[in-house]
Structures are given as C-alpha cells and as structure tokens.
C-alpha cells in the first residue's frame, strides 16, 4: 500500500461516482445508512457515557458503510450484517477498530473542550446534546467564536480519521500510524479533497433550494420539512458511499480489498 496522488478534478469524480454507486444498490445502501444512524442514536441514549460510546463506534460503523459501497461497486447486494464488519473478522481487528474509535473520541472531546473556553459550553451543549439555539446564543459573540473554532479544528481531525478505518481494517495498519497516513493522504490530495467537499456542499444546497422553491407553492413549512429531511438522508447515504472511492484512489493498493460480506 502506497500513497497515490490524484488531480484536483478527481474530487468531482468521487461525487459523481458516489451517486452512481448508491444507485447500483439504492435500497441496500439507503437502508444501511438509516440503520447506521439508528444504531448511533440508540447508543447515545446510554446514560452518561452514550455520547462517548457513539464516538468510539463511529469509525467501525463508517467502515461498515465503506464495505457496503465496495460490495455494491462489485455488483453484490450488501446485507445488513456488513455494517458490523469491523467486529466479524477476529479479535485483533475488533480491538484495533475500538482502539481507533477511542482515539477519535478523545480527540473529538478535546476539540469540543477547546470551544468551552470561548462561550462557557453553549456550543458544546448544542452540538453534543442537541439543546436548542436560543436568542441569547445568537446574540453572543462567544457562541460564534466557539462554532468557528470547532469547525476549523475539525478539519485536521477529520483528515486524520478519514482513511484510518480502511487502513486499520483492510491493511492492519496500527491505529496511531493509520491516522498519520490518513492525514498525509488528505494533505497530498488536498486539491481533490477540497473540490470533493465543495461539490457535496453545492449538491446538498441545490437540492434543498429546489425542494423549498417547488414545494413552497404547493404546501406549507410542514411539507417542506417532510421532503427535505428524507432527501437529506439519501444524499448523506450517497456521501458515505463515496468515502470508499476517496480511499480507493488515494492509495496504490497492492492487494484487492475483500468485498465479501
């Protein structure tokens, strides 16, 4: 496994191919994404430690969606069990994925902790516990500072863990080393990654704008919400399907990825 450099235009290609991969198996990939969200939601309900547990299992669950995309690309229907792939291939892989998840949880909570200094924890409560945004928060400079600090800090954090689940699971790279390789791959292919993220942002925005424009003349806010939410979830499923493509093209893979469920 070696780092592969791609052109910036590859970022747009990842988006287009991600959409095509989704429509190869739309029911399976859509259903798996809803199951993915459901599992994380249930885990967060665990008293006291639910939020941290969700962060720990997130890399493993993301790996499951990547495996599902690989299966769909190979023409195979991914079954629900693929979402638990990280824990179905031996104790060593399971422990490595949980170790990676623990590193992610610690890093993310430290990031959120950094925002508390800005606004006393208002942004953290909104982000972690879903507390509603109040007028007082909107009027507070500290809240916006915390939001921007959190966003900017998440870019390097996200890059460190972007390819890490695939490297740990498919290539047995130690968790800490996989974070370094993931960060290096994202940095070396930063042009493609920037276009990739920008393209998804534009696509999400355009779909939302079209829905609001068309539906606003036919119904009220309730109808708009009823359509925007499921369409957003489907686009998110396509986005997660495309993550596998960013990994596939960012490394020269010396052996074929196992596409068995």
* Per-residue pLDDT tens over the stretch 98-136: 999 999 999 999 999 888 888 888 888 877 776 777 777
Rg (CA), the chain: 19
Q: pLDDT tens digits for 28-64? A: 999 999 999 999 989 988 887 888 899 999 999 999 9
pLDDT band of residue 217 (cuts 50, 70, 90) is low
**pLDDT value at residue 45:** 86
- pLDDT-based confidence at 224, cuts 50/70/90? low
Res 117: pLDDT: 85
Binning pLDDT at 50, 70 and 90, where does residue 259 land? low
Q: What is the pLDDT of residue 225?
A: 65
Encoded tokens for 72: 């769909």
Q: How far apart are the first and last CA of the chain?
A: 22
By the 8 A CB rule, do 115 and 149 touch?
yes
What pTM value is reported for the model?
Answer: 0.88
For the chain, the domains span: 2-252
Helix axes 26-44, 10-24, angle to 10 degrees: 100
Q: What angle do CA 116, 118, 121 make, to 5 degrees?
A: 30
Residue 188's contacts (CB-CB under 8 Å, 6 or more residues apart) are 3, 5
pLDDT value for 132: 78
């Amino acid at each position: 496994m070696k780092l592969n450099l791609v052109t910036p235009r590859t970022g747009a290609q990842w988006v287009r191919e991600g959409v095509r991969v989704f429509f190869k198996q739309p029911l399976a990939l859509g259903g798996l994404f809803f199951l993915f969200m459901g599992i994380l939601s249930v885990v967060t309900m665990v008293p006291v430690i639910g939020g941290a547990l969700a962060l720990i299992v997130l890399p493993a669950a993301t790996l499951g969606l990547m495996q599902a995309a690989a299966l769909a690309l190979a023409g195979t229907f991914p079954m629900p069990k693929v979402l638990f792939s990280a824990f179905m291939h031996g104790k060593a892989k399971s422990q490595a994925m949980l170790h990676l998840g623990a590193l992610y949880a610690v890093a993310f909570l430290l990031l959120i902790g950094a925002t508390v200094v800005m606004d006393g924890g208002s942004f953290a409560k909104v982000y972690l516990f879903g507390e509603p945004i109040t007028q007082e928060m909107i009027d507070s400079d500290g809240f916006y500072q915390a939001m921007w600090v959190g966003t900017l800090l998440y870019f390097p954090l996200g890059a460190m863990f972007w390819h890490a689940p695939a490297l740990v699971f498919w290539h047995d790279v130690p968790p800490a080393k996989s974070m370094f390789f993931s960060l290096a791959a994202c940095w070396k292919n930063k042009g493609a990654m920037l276009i990739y993220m920008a393209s998804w942002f534009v696509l999400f925005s355009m779909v939302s704008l079209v829905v609001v424009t068309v539906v606003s003349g036919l119904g009220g806010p309730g109808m708009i919400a009823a359509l925007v939410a499921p369409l957003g979830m489907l686009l998110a499923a396509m986005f997660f399907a495309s993550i596998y493509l960013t990994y596939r093209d960012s490394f020269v893979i010396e052996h074929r990825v196992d596409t068995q469920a």
